[in-house]
Structure 1
Amino acid sequence: MKFVSYIYKGNQGYGIVSKDNTKVIPMDILLKKIGKDLPENFLEFIRTYSDSLIPNLQEVINHNGNGTISLDNVKITAPIPYPRRNVFCLGKNYADHALEVKSLPGGKAAIPDHPIYFTKVADPVIGHMDKVLIPKDYTEKIDYEVELAIIIGKDGKDISPEDVESHIFGYTIGNDISARDVQTKHVQWFKGKSLDTFTPMGPWIVHKSEIEFPVELDIRCKVNNEIRQNSNTKNLIFDIPYIISDLSKGLTLRAGDIILTGTPAGVGIGFSPHKYLKSGDVVECFIEKIGTLVNVIE
């Protein structure tokens, strides 16, 4: 089940994408049929219902005969354009990537012994086919990072590894756009990753029931159709049960929180010479069983 946020005829909405990825069933139609109130946006849907309506929604979809909208007629937005707080991120969580980023803040090119957590402002998150705007008077070294994003489904603190999946709502694709020169100048990651439009995400959220746990998905990134990153989430140094259990120690994760799990090797700074993004570049981020997130650099 894929959940999408969109704009249709000037109005914002959200719903469920058909299995062939050609149509969307608006959530107001689905919830009306099962007698539930419609939350204002998809973030509030997760906070209100979490997983509780999945069987009901599936039954309604199976018998739905009308009310769909062609995906060609909507503007897909980020699934959660305005997260309730900053996006949680992990640095150097693939061994090959940890070894390629020698010049970045966060220590030497060693594989970390513990998760490296940081955060980035996403206000708003941008969506599929949206433009990444380079502030050319401020930075010249813009990089891409395809990442599996986890959407938390219910509040939890001190979550055991065995209970982690029950706290997940679903997964989407993130592109952790980064200004490498800003990172280096400030000797930390926050500012260089928090510039406006630097958090593309989407095109939709796939419910966890569609993806087997543990999560082992092919993950790739292309720039202008050239494959730059190509790996599998099974290569995460710290896997999803470890990440969520460890992050939740003494820190309450909230329904709707977003966690970017790290990026594999092949980022622009890892090449010699570097391959940074420039105006006109098209970046395609793909994750198996989720789809493709496309953004244009401007």
Structure 2
Amino acid sequence: MRLVRYRHDGKPWLGSLVRDYIVPLNAIANYFPTMLSLIEGGPVALEMAHELTAKGADAVAYDTASLLCPVERPGKFLAIGMNYQKHIAEAEKLGVPPPVNQAWFNKQSSCVAAPYAAIDPGPSVALDYEVELAVVIGRPGRSIAKEQAANHVFGYTVTNDVSARDWQAHSPTVTVSKSFDTFGPLGPCIVTRDEIPDPHNLRLKSVVNGEVRQDGNTGDMLYSIWDQIAYLSAGMTLETGDVLATGTPSGVGIGQNPPVFLKSGDRVRCEIEKIGFIENVIK
């Protein structure tokens, strides 16, 4: 399934995206009023959503819907740095040594934004883009074995790990520079795990004003999604609705020669095969 949140009559609704229209899931809203509750509902909730989707009642055109962030406020929004082989090589040219292990950081949950919302650079004058495959956790767990990691994934979505490179230089940690309001657009939908049996063979691209900047494949990851889940859960509980951004391929703005940063009016499109795209204009 392809699950969305959208605004209707001034209220957030859940829906199922089918080709170019959205089937409302409001008939099960008494049981599952939010995306988090739907995810927590497990197979029972998904079966009810499937039945409504098959009926297709009261469908609305996708291009007329006002989409919201599919995960309203994740409990944890974690992201891994330098996890694509070519991005590591790109960073090394800038004098950034490769990490000796998985290098995770926290994006504050207040940074999430709708898939087509404007991005506010705030005080940054060196704004950059990073297309990433994001994992939405379904079943919670701690000390999850790599071989069992897939069972804890609910689905996948697209994110842009927007980064203030000038603020990134202020500190050895990147949490602030990657957590400005609107620096975590997600969407357009959550594609459930069953529809993407191999998340390690997906093409992902970022396009700025019609120009392709990043064009990679999730198969270039240094640490697989299963490695990531096992590593994180070794010491912390991954909870339902947590979001994991799994790394970005080469081609980021700071890696250009000379560096090319985003400016007001630029349109950034991040897309991933089998999921869709998000597109955001810089304020």
TM-score for the superposition, normalised by structure 1: 0.90
Aligned to 1:145, which of 130, 148, 164? Answer: 130
Q: Structure 1, residues 104-147: CA drift from partner, whole Å, max 9, x if none? A: 8xxx5343331101101131511122100122xx2210000000
Spell out the pairing of 1:54-69 with structure 2 (5 A cutoff): 54-62=46-54, 64-69=55-60
User: CA 1:278–1:214 in structure 2 vs 1: closer, same or farther (change >3 Å)?
Assistant: closer
Letter of the structure 1 residue corresponding to residue 90 of structure 2: E
Aligned to 1:112, which of 75, 99, 102? Answer: 99
Corresponding residue of 1:25: 23
Aligned to 1:79, which of 70, 74, 77? Answer: 70
Aligned to 1:180, which of 161, 165, 188? Answer: 165
Segments of structure 2 that go 5 or more residues without pairing to the other structure are none
Q: Structure 1, residues 58-81: CA drift from partner, whole Å, max 9, x if none? A: 24422x052222223321011012
In the alignment, is residue 90 of structure 1 matched against residue 77 of structure 2? Answer: no
Letter of the structure 2 residue corresponding to residue 183 of structure 1: Q
How many Å separate the matches in 1 of 2:190 and 2:87? Answer: 25
How many Å separate the matches in 2 of 1:60 and 1:121? Answer: 34
Contact 2:92 2:98 in 1 (8 A): no
SS in 2 for 1:131: coil
Corresponding residue of 1:121: 108
Letter of the structure 2 residue corresponding to residue 112 of structure 1: P
How many Å separate the matches in 1 of 2:272 and 2:124? Answer: 29
Contact 1:8 1:73 in 2 (8 A): no
Instruction: Compute the displacement of 1:103 (Å).
Output: 8.3
How many Å separate the matches in 1 of 2:100 and 2:197? Answer: 27
Matched residues, percent identical?
Answer: 36
Number of aligned residue pairs: give it.
283
Instruction: Compute the displacement of 1:269 (Å).
Output: 0.3
TM-score for the superposition, normalised by structure 2: 0.95
Contact 1:82 1:124 in 2 (8 A): no
How many Å separate the matches in 1 of 2:165 and 2:24? Answer: 40
User: CA 1:83–1:103 in structure 2 vs 1: closer, same or farther (change >3 Å)?
Assistant: farther
Segments of structure 1 that go 5 or more residues without pairing to the other structure are none
